[in-house]
Structure 1
Amino acid sequence: MPTVTTDPVVVAAIAADLDAAGFTVERVDALWGAEAAASLHRGTRVAALRALAARETSPLTTLATLFVLGLPVSRSDAERAFPIAGLDGVLAVGLLREGDDGRVFPTVDLRPYAFVDDLGAGSWWIVSDLGELALGTALGEEHVLGIGGASTTLSGLQVPVRVRRVLDLGTGCGIQALHARRFADQVVATDISQRALDIARFNAVLNGVDGIELRLGSLFEPVVGERFDRIVSNPPFVITPRRAGVPSYEYRDGGMVGDALVETVLRGLVDHLEPGGTAQLLGNWEYHWGVDGLDRVRSWFADAPAASELDTWVVEREREDPPAYAETWIRDGGTKPGTPEYDVLVDAWLDDFAARRVTGVGFGYVVVRRAQPGGAGRLRRFERVPETLGSNPAGLGATVARVLDAAAWLGVHDDEALAAAHLRVAGDVTEERHYWPGNDDPTVITLVQGGGFGRRVDADTALAAFVGACDGELSVAAIVGAIAQITGVDEEALRADLLSRARDLVLDGLLLPA
């Protein structure tokens, strides 16, 4: 692969050309429309090409043809697209190459990216390696991945609280480091791939983002002895057979057997987090015969050094059976179903899973916080939340921060303190009631959270009445006493029941300390 070099003067000029051409998500999508954009996402560019054919050539259409569709253009069109940087400058930094036929070819994928976080809307241009659509072949093992679903998931999980230092472990094209820098004074970004670091450096300069230090090395090796206020990582967690002939992609395969890399990262967090520091990561974990996947993750934390100092929240969003998992990642590498190569790789994956008694693979999020000196972690939550829940366009980072704050608050409120506390219903909570025809009493009551994970909590009349009365004016004990008096139930039994359920509602964010 051609080397991508970062000449600050040339890169700044390229950014000016991209800006002048209007190379934005909105304008690129408008070039070919929603249907063609969806077709591109499925790996077909015919609809997009038909739409472009009906338009006059412009710097914007040229940039989209080169860097989004991965197709060559004439030298004259390329020159018009880069009037400030000059075509020779763009060729020199490695974004384009000249063919023998006089046309200019892309050597990288470069596309606009838009996002929303707690600081508002933002946009960047992101360079990565060309995908299989542009290459026409399977990906190379040194491929540097662009922005995908996992990238946006993790960026949305980053806690939107200002800190001093952040570690981005396995930075790839640098997208997490860019997001982290919006809430940090300094970011240290590591990767085992020098090409990934070169591209990450280019992306930082292209978008005018400073304060990111790039280091070469595996996992925590480049930061031995250092601690951070936050660690973010989309590690190379993909479970790949360690067999000759099976490609091992640097961007996704950590070189270890099974889910050992995720285990290694999770066990190493405590050594690199400052007291009060947090970590947000993605990961895979295996299910083995007779062993639940989340139980395996729980055991990694239980056995880790200083495990008692950690708040731990693991959310499994989906689970795949061995064939589905194998097929997903073989297609991701660009090997197409129905080919002999594809079938050989599926066999290799299934042989590996069978030999190690793997029955499935879970995917999800891991959130960790290290306690302050002398403190102990109080949050121990390992749960399954369907992917359909949680749709905040700004991501779930604010939800993560709120859960951690709620866990800390609950940790210093025993039952007596909770009974004396004043709670209020969160503003995004509504209530659904369902009745049998002709009945006055509801058969189903559900509390519905509008933001965060969009949780739905089944409630009986006592819990619904309790939540409805939580307006911050009365204490929990006063509300329980009033409900017991009205319903004629034993107040102590009701108190024990509602206090336990109130803790869950506070942790989930349906109730807030007033």
Structure 2
Amino acid sequence: MSAALTLSPAQVTALRAALDSADYTLDSVTALLGAEVLESLRAGSFAGALHRFAKLPASPLKTLCALFYLGAPVTRDELQTTFTQLTPEELTAAGVLRANNSYFSAAVSLNPVTIADGHNRESGAYSWWLFSDLDDHLRKEAVSDDHVMGVGGATRSLISQLPPLKVATAADIGTGCGVVAFHLAKRAAKVVATDLSSRTLNFAQVNAQLNEIVNIEFRAGDLFAPLGAERFDLLASNPPFVINPAGESALSYRSTQEPGDALVARFTKQLPGYLNNEGRAVALLSWENYWGKNFADRPTAWLEQSVKQFGSAWVIERDRVNPLAYAKMWARDGGVQLGTAASEKLQRSYLDDFEKREVSTVSFGSLHLQNGGQKPVLHVAEVRSPYGDPQKLGSAIDAAFRTGSRITGLSDSEILESRLMLAAGVKEQRLHKPGEADPQEIWFAATLPFLQQYPAGTATAAMLGASDGELSVGQIAGALADIFEVEPEALATELCTVVRELAYTGLFTVAP
């Protein structure tokens, strides 16, 4: 097992003071290195940074960047100027640095990160200092079985989808470096964060101390086991959903030895039982699709029974890849260089395993779950359009989920009695042939939660345009029937169908 961090509370306080004094923030690092150089570093190219570093005067910020962005050795004098209350030997003994003759280098990564989160109404983001194992461009080797990952795209996506609620209790299942729990800690009075790896929990606890977060309780154990009989108002998780081919060792931060997507199935089935009444959950999921089957089959099978018992669920499939693409993706993610013998062996293991179990594709997406409230509804949808502004995404998905769950459970007569309100930012676009008054095509363009255009007929466009919360759908349908000189009941039925089809798009909400 790799070493843990052994910083004492006093040392963490001294480290925080050094980082703060050096202004070790993402904005300052970007200003020092330049955005283009910083992007090149993340891709593993050091030439631009080394060229720029040669011209920079000595400073604590430069030393921190040399350590944690370039992985470069620094001198004792540079360290003592930067960490005025800590000696290089203390940082080495604590697992932060490595000693090499008269120089020292980073043993772990320590990065300033800023993550979009609509819960922060002032800036739309939160900033943290986070310990993790060495970033990919610094490690230059395959990851260890107990690797502690930093902040990746999946983590950012999960956080941006969290509803900006204020709740009493929250839980983070599979906390990793702890950052999802930190965002929950801004929403909840009490947070429980779990992880199977004791080393990962060590990093998460140190990160919490470094960022002065005191309302998280860290517990070791498999998925929900550490929660016991507790229930929560808000639950988030990026579980280890990566499929591990039979016979290959699993990397604990992303996968288990359970076959295929068995862990995700177990997680998804158990999740609803850990929510309070009106509780919400957001999780990232991945699932297998078998030959001749629909992409919605497996999440539907996992959730249909619990949805009937507990509430509503919305599964959003964001991507679907074939076995070869999946094999290449996760071989590379683990630090195995493509084209090597190790990579070829791992990819063949994936392909053999998928073929044996008749897996045709693998889906990636997210799950939104609400306990109680409206009539139970399970909605599984394929959405390829990009998400909108991550600083507003959580609110937009929350509104779309509530609207979709509510509308889907209504009869035609109940929809006709509902008053809709067009969402802010929605635009109507019309395509005209020059010289003709009537449009050839009409679209409604949304910016949240998805950047997507929705085609609309004349009646639909008129109905949405009139949806300001004053008139019911039925009243609008009656007025349009007179204008278009069509059968009122037929138009009402048509508009009810349209309202259901657009319920999860975020184009409108239902007025109270």
Q: The residue matched to 1:367 in structure 2 has which SS?
A: strand
Matches of 1:376 and 1:439, distance apart in 2: 46
* Alignment match of 2:475 (pick from 462, 474, 478): 478
Q: The residue matched to 1:255 in structure 2 has which SS?
A: coil
2:291 corresponds to 1:283: no
Deviation for aligned residue 1:474: 2.6
Deviation for aligned residue 1:502: 2.4
Q: The residue matched to 2:296 in structure 1 has which SS?
A: helix
2:359 corresponds to 1:361: no
| Number of the residue aligned with 2:193 | 189
| Number of the residue aligned with 2:116 | 116
Q: Please say which of residues 104-113 and 218-227 is displaced more in the overlay.
A: 218-227
Deviation for aligned residue 1:351: 0.8
Matches of 1:132 and 1:420, distance apart in 2: 56
| Number of the residue aligned with 2:130 | 126
Q: Please say which of residues 292-301 and 83-92 is displaced more in the overlay.
A: 83-92
| Number of the residue aligned with 1:328 | 329
| Number of the residue aligned with 1:314 | 315
Deviation for aligned residue 1:508: 2.6
Q: The residue matched to 2:454 in structure 1 has which SS?
A: strand
2:448 corresponds to 1:451: yes
| Number of the residue aligned with 2:383 | 385
Deviation for aligned residue 1:297: 1.1
| Number of the residue aligned with 1:102 | 102
Q: Deviations over 1:47-68 (max 9, x none)?
A: 2222112212211111011112
- Contact 2:80–2:86, Cα closer than 8 Å, also in 1: no
| Number of the residue aligned with 2:299 | 297
Matches of 2:97 and 2:234, distance apart in 1: 37
Q: The residue matched to 1:261 in structure 2 has which SS?
A: helix
2:239 corresponds to 1:235: yes
- Contact 2:109–2:131, Cα closer than 8 Å, also in 1: yes
* Alignment match of 2:505 (pick from 499, 504, 508): 508
Deviation for aligned residue 1:8: 1.4
- Contact 1:14–1:90, Cα closer than 8 Å, also in 2: no
- Contact 2:244–2:250, Cα closer than 8 Å, also in 1: yes
2:348 corresponds to 1:344: no
Matches of 1:404 and 1:454, distance apart in 2: 16
Q: The residue matched to 1:277 in structure 2 has which SS?
A: strand
Q: The residue matched to 1:98 in structure 2 has which SS?
A: strand
Q: Which amino acid aligns with 1:18?
A: L
Q: Which amino acid aligns with 1:441?
A: D
2:143 corresponds to 1:146: no
* Alignment match of 1:410 (pick from 407, 410, 414): 407
Q: Please say which of residues 498-507 and 277-286 is displaced more in the overlay.
A: 498-507
Deviation for aligned residue 1:158: 1.2
- Identity within the alignment, %: 37
Q: The residue matched to 1:143 in structure 2 has which SS?
A: coil
Q: Would the alpha carbon gap of residues 306 and 456 (structure 1) be closer, same or farther in structure 2, given more than 3 Å must change?
A: closer
Q: Which amino acid aligns with 2:113?
A: Y
Q: Deviations over 1:30-60 (max 9, x none)?
A: 2222222221222222222221122122111
Matches of 2:285 and 2:474, distance apart in 1: 42
Matches of 2:51 and 2:57, distance apart in 1: 12
Matches of 1:389 and 1:71, distance apart in 2: 37
Q: The residue matched to 1:447 in structure 2 has which SS?
A: strand
Matches of 2:448 and 2:368, distance apart in 1: 19
Matches of 2:378 and 2:483, distance apart in 1: 36
Q: The residue matched to 1:501 in structure 2 has which SS?
A: helix
- Contact 1:204–1:210, Cα closer than 8 Å, also in 2: yes
Matches of 1:134 and 1:512, distance apart in 2: 47
5+ residue gaps, structure 1, are: none
| Number of the residue aligned with 1:155 | 159
Deviation for aligned residue 1:306: 6.3
Q: Would the alpha carbon gap of residues 132 and 290 (structure 1) be closer, same or farther in structure 2, given more than 3 Å must change?
A: same
Matches of 1:395 and 1:159, distance apart in 2: 10
2:67 corresponds to 1:54: no
Deviation for aligned residue 1:182: 0.6
Q: Deviations over 1:9-31 (max 9, x none)?
A: 11011111101101111111222
Q: The residue matched to 2:471 in structure 1 has which SS?
A: strand
| Number of the residue aligned with 1:216 | 220
Matches of 2:502 and 2:408, distance apart in 1: 14
Q: Please say which of residues 292-301 and 350-359 is displaced more in the overlay.
A: 292-301
- Contact 2:4–2:203, Cα closer than 8 Å, also in 1: no
Q: Please say which of residues 450-459 and 170-179 is displaced more in the overlay.
A: 450-459
Matches of 1:140 and 1:424, distance apart in 2: 52
* Alignment match of 2:184 (pick from 175, 180, 183): 180
* Alignment match of 1:205 (pick from 199, 209, 212): 209
Matches of 1:23 and 1:311, distance apart in 2: 43
Q: Would the alpha carbon gap of residues 355 and 395 (structure 1) be closer, same or farther in structure 2, given more than 3 Å must change?
A: farther
Deviation for aligned residue 1:136: 2.3
Matches of 2:89 and 2:27, distance apart in 1: 29
- Contact 2:111–2:130, Cα closer than 8 Å, also in 1: yes
Q: Which amino acid aligns with 1:254?
A: T
* Alignment match of 1:253 (pick from 249, 252, 255): 255
Give 1:23-42 correspondences, 5 Å limit: 23-42=24-43
Q: Would the alpha carbon gap of residues 313 and 412 (structure 1) be closer, same or farther in structure 2, given more than 3 Å must change?
A: closer
Matches of 1:288 and 1:231, distance apart in 2: 30
Q: Which amino acid aligns with 1:472?
A: G
Deviation for aligned residue 1:353: 0.9
- Contact 2:423–2:507, Cα closer than 8 Å, also in 1: yes
Q: Which amino acid aligns with 2:471?
A: L
Matches of 1:393 and 1:382, distance apart in 2: 22
Deviation for aligned residue 1:95: 1.1
- Contact 1:157–1:400, Cα closer than 8 Å, also in 2: yes
Q: Please say which of residues 41-50 and 426-435 is displaced more in the overlay.
A: 41-50
RMSD after superposition: 1.8
Q: The residue matched to 1:394 in structure 2 has which SS?
A: helix
Matches of 2:74 and 2:326, distance apart in 1: 38
Q: The residue matched to 2:146 in structure 1 has which SS?
A: coil
Deviation for aligned residue 1:324: 0.8
Matches of 1:72 and 1:242, distance apart in 2: 40
Matches of 1:411 and 1:308, distance apart in 2: 17
- Contact 1:174–1:201, Cα closer than 8 Å, also in 2: yes
Matches of 2:343 and 2:414, distance apart in 1: 60
Q: Would the alpha carbon gap of residues 477 and 335 (structure 1) be closer, same or farther in structure 2, given more than 3 Å must change?
A: same
- Contact 2:116–2:156, Cα closer than 8 Å, also in 1: no
Q: Please say which of residues 406-415 and 306-315 is displaced more in the overlay.
A: 406-415
Q: Please say which of residues 223-232 and 78-87 is displaced more in the overlay.
A: 78-87
Q: Deviations over 1:131-178 (max 9, x none)?
A: 343222111111100000001001111111011111111111001101
- TM value normalised by structure 1: 0.94
Deviation for aligned residue 1:395: 5.3
Q: The residue matched to 1:293 in structure 2 has which SS?
A: coil
Q: Which amino acid aligns with 2:379?
A: R
Q: Which amino acid aligns with 2:431?
A: H
Q: The residue matched to 2:129 in structure 1 has which SS?
A: strand
